[in-house]
Amino acid sequence: MTHTLEALLAGWITGQRWFAGKSRAISELAVESATPLPLRGPEEILHNAVAGSSRTTDPVARPRTRGQVSVRHLVITVRQGDTTDRYQLLVGFRPELPQRLRHVAIGLTDEGYAYDALHDADVTGVLLSAVAGDADVGPLRFRHMPGTEIDTSARSLVLGGEQSNTSLVFGDAYICKLFRKLIPGVNPEVEVVSALARRGSRNIARPYGWIEADIAGQNTTLAFTQEFLPTASDGWSLALTSVRDLYGSPPGTPCCDAGGDFAAESHRLGVATANLHRQMADAFPTSTIEAPEVKRMVEGFRRRLDSAITEVPELAAHAASAHEAFDRLADMGRPITVQRVHGDYHLGQVMRTPSEWVVLDFEGEPGQPLSERRALDSPLRDVAGMLRSFEYAARHLLFGRADAAALEPCAAEWAERNRAAFIAGYSAGGGRIHGDDAILLRALELSKAAYEVVYEARNRPAWLPIPLAAFTHAAA
């Protein structure tokens, strides 16, 4: 039995990791646009072979085919109660699905078996070829970064583990991130990374191109292609290796004597972070927020804390230390410099190459409006995020260990050593953390910890001691 594509998608989409509305029923799903992609050679794409005829809003229009395979780019709207969101899909159609694609089947339609074509390396090359050729395919605009060349022969593989996007790795050279949930406007990652690349930054993955279209009357980023770093290791994994080495050392071994001491890398990461902040300040406008605005920011911190206490009463015992830090910031009485920042900075967002630390994912918190993700903020917000990440790296491996209590001093020592090394590196790289800056950093870190308390209570109750411990640390 065949079904309409919309009906199949309504059932299929709720099981996808990147779908944001899993807890709510779908009221309506509709195809807003459907663009057949030309499964031909790049030379035909370069000449816009289908530019004038490929656009359709008819969800059942049969796309052009190569043999028995066809592919369409879809923008769909999903209404759930009073909320309507847009998502992008690459849907393929085959008369039969080979075994390698059955795990991404959507269902049987009049056009054949529909499936998530991002997992089909036989067809995804069209995306890379179109980016290389600055092609226009219906409403889709494929653009490459000036001064770059792209090898369009590479085959793709879906990168696992992502929650809100889908990334394709082409060979060992490129990674193309497709933003599943579409928010009208230019994605901050394209904006920031492109600007930093033009300034020769060594701390970013080189951008190669992007895909865009007009959504709700705004130029909207659909995908972003950057250099893939096959020999790099992510900061979180490296930090955990260091912590495991420490925990496996003879009792009483200082962090600096353990086999995997991470402090030198934390220092280098601090320098790289300061470099990026300086480059972002050069590339984008900066400003200051005056004392009255600082007080309003502090009130926002207090509201977050009160809300967290309402949900997690255990936090109430630590509220006094947080309010003391917030009071100090409110009474500081001087302006705070603000600029573009990363916005979601932690050890999972950085990669260590053989020569340098590279920072990824400048898109900010995916669930937040673009205006908030692009807003100017103190660079110390990024510093606070990384300091919190060191605490998590040090302590989360303790859970479930019989010797956790005995290792707690080691965890505290590791976290403090790497926090101090990161701050020293940040200062050495030109970042500023002294005097009143330390007051702001302390308040930002506690506000972040209040958010973490709620997150852990909802998702990982066993980890709740990690953010709660932030409120008992000595002031920065």
CA distances from 353 to 162, 266, 388, 444 (A): 21, 14, 23, 29
What the block records as the tokens of 82 is: 């009073």
Using only C-alpha atoms, what is the Rg of the chain? 24
Report the alpha-carbon distance of residue 95 to residue 161 in Å, rounded: 30
Task: Look at the block and give the residue holding tokens 């060191």.
Answer: 390
CA distances from 92 to 71, 130, 138, 192, 225 (A): 4, 17, 17, 33, 21
Kindly report the backbone phi and psi dihedral angles of residue 448, in degrees, each rounded to the nearest multiple of 5, phi listed first. -65, -40
Q: Where do runs of H (alpha helix) occur along 116-232? A: 125-132, 188-198
What the block records as the tokens of 263 is: 């402090």
Answer for the pair 421, 414: CB distance below 8 angstroms, yes or no.
no
**Could you give the angle at which helices 263-283 and 235-247 cross, rounded to 10 degrees?**
160
pLDDT values of the chain reduced to their tens digit, one per residue, 476 residues: 668 999 999 999 999 999 988 889 999 999 999 999 998 544 444 433 333 333 333 333 344 444 489 999 999 999 999 999 999 999 999 999 999 999 999 999 999 999 999 999 999 999 999 999 999 999 999 999 999 999 999 999 999 877 789 999 999 999 999 999 999 999 999 999 999 999 999 999 999 999 999 999 999 999 999 999 999 999 999 999 999 998 888 876 776 666 678 999 999 999 999 999 999 999 999 999 999 999 999 999 999 999 999 999 999 999 999 999 999 999 998 999 999 999 999 999 999 999 999 999 998 876 678 888 899 999 999 999 999 999 999 999 999 899 989 999 999 999 999 999 999 999 999 998 888 899 999 999 999 999 999 999 999 999 999 999 999 875 44
Report the alpha-carbon distance of residue 18 to residue 382 in Å, rounded: 25
The angle formed by the CA atoms of residues 458, 460 and 462, to the nearest 5 degrees, is 125
